[in-house]
Structure 1
Amino acid sequence: MNYLEKLKQKYENVFLYALLTDSLEANSPHLNYVRDKLSSNVWAKVLTYDKYDAKKYGFTWFGYTYYSSFDFVSPSQQTSDLYFVGYDKGNRASLIGKIFDTLESQGVDCNFKMVSNHADTFVNGSQLAYTRKKQTYPEVVADVKSSKCILEVLQEHQQAQSIRYFEAIVYNKKLLTNNVHIKELPYYDPRYMYYFQSVDDIDPCWIKSDYTVDYKYHGEFSPVHLVDFIKQLEKEKV
């Protein structure tokens, strides 16, 4: 922060924006590290993708201009009915393990990658094993593209959508999610998006069904629009 403060003092025409692409309410370790720095007056504004954080903390919500399409990535060879990837954080491991066990027993081909330092152990008694290997993001996209459906399980206290929501729309995949706000989001389509409150709500036949998904997406989530958003903020200050 000292460097940024000195930079701002030296160049009065420089305006600094903090950009948050994760939810503060989820208490991710990396955000806990920067939490106290967000109140610094070095920032012209703190921008967040999470409109619930924006309201609670007085940040500026920048909308859904969050995701760039990885069109150059080819599908992986590991096809699946349902794909999940994520870290063991946010008190969600137990639920993910239960989803895995239940759906596997119902004939759903699950490709789940729960990343943790507890490799070679199982998730709270589940048959789902942790993995220590962190996937690169192109590897994640490759698995997304080779799956029929993506599983989104929000971290405890998180209300905003995760990156899984954007992937589903950009790559035309079904989305199985516990996000209670899913119906409020752009491109929501009940044919392709399925909300569950408990594991018993999940329909394995819907996951396994093989049909064409088309959200008719036209690039609205691209971060190029974020640049326009910041330019507009600067104009409003004049």
Structure 2
Amino acid sequence: MTLGLSKKTEATAFVLDSPQSVIAECIRSRGYDVFDVLVLPPRLGRLRRAHMTRRLPLQRMWFHRNFRILEGTETVVIFDRPEMFAIARRLTATRPDVRVIIWLWNPLPADWRPPADLDSFEVVTFDPADAERFGFRSNSTFYFRELGSYASGERDHDLIFVGRDKGRRAFIEGVATALTHAGSRVALELVDDAGRGRLSYREVLERTGRSRGVLDVVQAGQRGLTLRSMEALFLDAKLLTNNPAVLAAPHFPHQNVLVLDGQQPEALLDFLREDPVVPSAAALEYYDFAAWLRRLTSG
């Protein structure tokens, strides 16, 4: 397989572990190539992760046999995954003239241990807390304007949360229960950390587009804006969050944000049922993929 320019026009390529996802499709629609360079034999996912993250010999066995970076590719962006540093090492060894950037769009675990050769990599994170902790460069979260088409004129529930437990179940269910008792209509799709029963992202978009508000619950210490905050912004919804950093985020319409701080359920419901402020053109431009990529590659 080839990684880089084929029929596309841009000199940046992207490595994702789900190259057929909605996000990957949106990136391709902007003129970029999106690939995965690894093979995943059935039922060997855990073995591959363990083998590659521990830097054991014979890691080449996990890469597509004939992958190469085409001439004309200047930058490869690797979206975070357990094998990201192993992928970066291989790409750099294959084409040392190509810039390789690791993009972290999830917070690192509290017990994360950086590889010994961390200084060899260009790492950029969405989370200012992780940037400060490890000396990474930071950038905003991004989204795609075209996904705003999922916003519906019919809003049949007040609040939605779709995501994994990650130790947040009690808090999320507490908010949902309190709002339900206050007369709110809440859509809660909380799956276990293995992802069993998870909705497709298109289903998430369809449901979020029919909600007046999005519930955003970040992990302790996290300050970066989540995908849910982007969904609220681009799908014209309010945002209930435990992340006060949203209020200081560039261009984000703070009138559409309520930071959870022990408010009565009736106050939350009143907030959700007020019409949201229309986001400014500056906000939609700043968080769009194109502006995010300019910031990412200009650093």
SS in 1 for 2:285: coil
One-letter amino acid matched to 2:186: C
Deviation per CA, 1:141-196, whole angstroms, max 9, x where unpaired?
11111001111111233232211111111122111111122221123444321111
Going from structure 1 to structure 2, the CA distance change for 1:10 and 1:180 (only over 3 Å counts) comes to closer
Going from structure 1 to structure 2, the CA distance change for 1:36 and 1:177 (only over 3 Å counts) comes to same
| 1:225 equivalent in structure 2 | 291
- Quote how far apart the aligned CAs of 1:209 are: 1.9
| 2:143 equivalent in structure 1 | 67
| 1:125 equivalent in structure 2 | none
Q: Is residue 47 of structure 1 aligned with residue 124 of structure 2?
A: yes
- Quote how far apart the aligned CAs of 1:139 are: 1.3
| 2:105 equivalent in structure 1 | 21
Q: Is residue 187 of structure 1 aligned with residue 271 of structure 2?
A: no
- Quote how far apart the aligned CAs of 1:76 are: 11
Q: Is residue 133 of structure 1 aligned with residue 192 of structure 2?
A: no
Q: Return the TM-score normalized by structure 2.
A: 0.62
Higher relative contact order (Cα pairs below 8 Å, separated by 6+ residues):
1
Q: Is residue 100 of structure 1 aligned with residue 176 of structure 2?
A: yes
Going from structure 1 to structure 2, the CA distance change for 1:61 and 1:153 (only over 3 Å counts) comes to same
SS in 1 for 2:92: helix
| 1:153 equivalent in structure 2 | 217
SS in 1 for 2:269: helix
SS in 1 for 2:255: coil
SS in 2 for 1:194: strand
Instruction: Tell me the distance in 2 between the aligned counterparts of 1:97 and 1:65.
Output: 26
- Quote how far apart the aligned CAs of 1:11 are: 2.8
Instruction: Tell me the distance in 1 between the aligned counterparts of 2:238 and 2:212.
Output: 6
205-214 or 159-168, which deviates more: 205-214
Between the aligned residues of both structures, percent identity stands at: 22
Contact 1:73 1:138 in 2 (8 A): no
- Quote how far apart the aligned CAs of 1:26 are: 6.3
Q: Is residue 79 of structure 1 aligned with residue 156 of structure 2?
A: yes
92-101 or 158-167, which deviates more: 158-167
Contact 2:150 2:235 in 1 (8 A): no
Going from structure 1 to structure 2, the CA distance change for 1:10 and 1:71 (only over 3 Å counts) comes to same
One-letter amino acid matched to 1:222: D
Root mean square deviation of aligned Cα? 2.9
- Quote how far apart the aligned CAs of 1:93 are: 1.0
| 2:238 equivalent in structure 1 | 174
Contact 2:102 2:123 in 1 (8 A): yes
Going from structure 1 to structure 2, the CA distance change for 1:208 and 1:38 (only over 3 Å counts) comes to farther
Instruction: Tell me the distance in 2 between the aligned counterparts of 1:38 and 1:186.
Output: 34
Q: How many pairs does the alignment contain?
A: 212
178-187 or 191-200, which deviates more: 191-200
Q: Return the TM-score normalized by structure 1.
A: 0.76
Structure 2 unpaired stretches of 5+? 1-84
Instruction: Tell me the distance in 2 between the aligned counterparts of 1:229 and 1:9.
Output: 26
Structure 1 unpaired stretches of 5+? 119-130, 234-238
Q: Is residue 214 of structure 1 aligned with residue 278 of structure 2?
A: yes
SS in 2 for 1:203: helix
- Quote how far apart the aligned CAs of 1:2 are: 5.5
- Quote how far apart the aligned CAs of 1:41 are: 4.7
